Amino acid sequence: MKNEPWLGDACSLVDAFRSGAREPSEVLEATISALDDSSLNATSHIDVEAARMAAASADVSLPFGGVPIAIKELESVAGWPSTEASLVFRDRVATHDSTQVTRLRAAGAVIAAQTTASEFGGINCTNTKLHGTTRNPWNLAKTPGGSSGGSAAVVAGGLIPIASGGDGGGSIRIPAGFTGLFGLKSTFGRIPKGPHAHQPPLTVTVGCLSRSVRDTARWFDVCNGFDPRDTLSLPRVSGWEAGLDSFDLAGKRAVISIDLGAAIVEPRQTELLISLSEVLIKNAKLRRVDLALRFPNGGLEWSLSNLIGLAGTLGDRYPACHDDLTSEIQLGMTMATKMFSLESAGAAEMFRIEMNEYMAGVFEQTDFIFAASNPDVAFAAEGPMATTVGGVDLIAEYGFNRAIGNNGALTIPANLTGNPAISIPAGQIDGLPFGLQVIGRHHEEQLLLDLARVAERENPWLLVAPPLS
């Protein structure tokens, strides 16, 4: 209906613009109205006038011509709030567009809204002192995940067709899994993070939360490629969308390791994911190999490495700003202040070598790793992060650090090593989505996309969450 936002994928909206079935300005107005009326609390800024000007002059011949797109609030858009989802920077305004936003504008996108995130991207739940609680469109009592929770909520909630995300420890794959979306964490450096890119800790990639594989492929067509303002960014690779369905997957090896030997996963989810993995392996004509994986648990090393950048961002504001921070970031900064030293920094680097060696050794024996995207379905929207899985109290059973670390134990390995990984919508448990994660070799994102296309064809997923009763 013409007075509703677009509920298909972004590519089909471009097709509708080109055929004259819909108009960019009309879709934008429906989008703005839906965002204003939404109970998801998933946007922190809507740039109405600028978006209207962009829609009115949209060139629909471009890849995202006329499509309303949302940008995660940890990414810079000139003139928009630049808060890092924190009270500490509540009054700061961005002075520049990120490289990704610049490239999206050039591709015709209507940059319309800013989506909420967890503070500094620190946890997999979007609940901050600055913006309050963002909710999952499948169940308002549950979280859409984090840190790209607002982006996941607006896309899965049928408000905006596609939105940017970032993944430094699972922040695209985790919310994709919690909300029934498709998400790709690319090889490290695939899309530049500049200007003013953080170099260490070599974990963060940027990309999108989407409703379809082809939407993500088109996004990477538009956004990937080297930028001198991010010296670790990779050379441009073309043909992401055009190359879909053209890669021969037959005979490639796959290992099913739902918990990666590192996480505690909800038993029903494990059983379903094993079955789904076996079907996908068969449909893609892969060859299953049996490997007993046991990834090193690197939550502490990952946290300490990322907290270095946070300390630099806060600068001399810390510790005076301590009370403005969310409890999780307070804990992290306190931990880093007490624990970080030359010795701990050296140990973290040695751990990183260990993780890289382990991942490389696994990929000498397989081409894909099938795992869960999350240990369980979404937990409470307000948090705290889940410490109970399948009725098991992880704190009582394994201790506090292991319990908290379980939330990222499935996704952090691919961030520490820079490998690409996807989350494919896999189904629902108790009315909540869960995702199948597939990790691939460096620079082989297009093989992952083709594998996801097999899943998309054989087991189509809902593009948006069903209306809440």
Name, in order, each residue with C-beta under 8 angstroms of 16's C-beta and a sequence gap of 6 or more. 6, 8, 22
The residue annotated as part of the active site, out of 76, 171, 257, 423, is 171
CB-CB neighbours of 129 under 10 Å: 17
| DSSP state string for 305-336 | HHHHHHHHHHGGGTTTTGGGS-HHHHHHHHHH
Q: Is 148 a residue of the active site? A: no
Q: Using alpha carbons only, how large is the chain's radius of gyration in Å?
A: 21
Phi and psi torsions of 422, nearest 5°: -125, 155
The residue annotated as part of the active site, out of 44, 86, 118, 147, is 147
Q: Is 72 a residue of the active site? A: yes
Name, in order, each residue with C-beta under 8 angstroms of 307's C-beta and a sequence gap of 6 or more. 332, 333, 335, 336, 340
Which residues, in sequence order, are bridge partners of residue 288? 254
Strands (E), 200-301: 205-210, 253-256, 287-288
Contact of 75 with 114, CB cutoff 8 Å = no
* HSE, side-chain direction, 13 A CA sphere, residue 412: 26
Burial code of 350-373, b = ≥16 C-beta within 10 A, e = fewer? ebbeebeebbeebbeebbbbbbbb
The residue annotated as part of the active site, out of 72, 185, 193, 252, is 72
Q: Is 19 a residue of the active site? A: no
Closest C-alpha among 405, 411, 404, 330 to residue 148:
411
Closest C-alpha among 14, 462, 438 to residue 222:
14
| DSSP state string for 113-147 | EEE---GGG-SSS-EETTTEE--BTTBTTB---SS
**Three-state DSSP class for residue 451:** helix
Rounded to whole angstroms, how far apart are CA atoms 330 and 318? Answer: 10
Q: Which positions are annotated as active-site residues?
A: 72, 147, 171
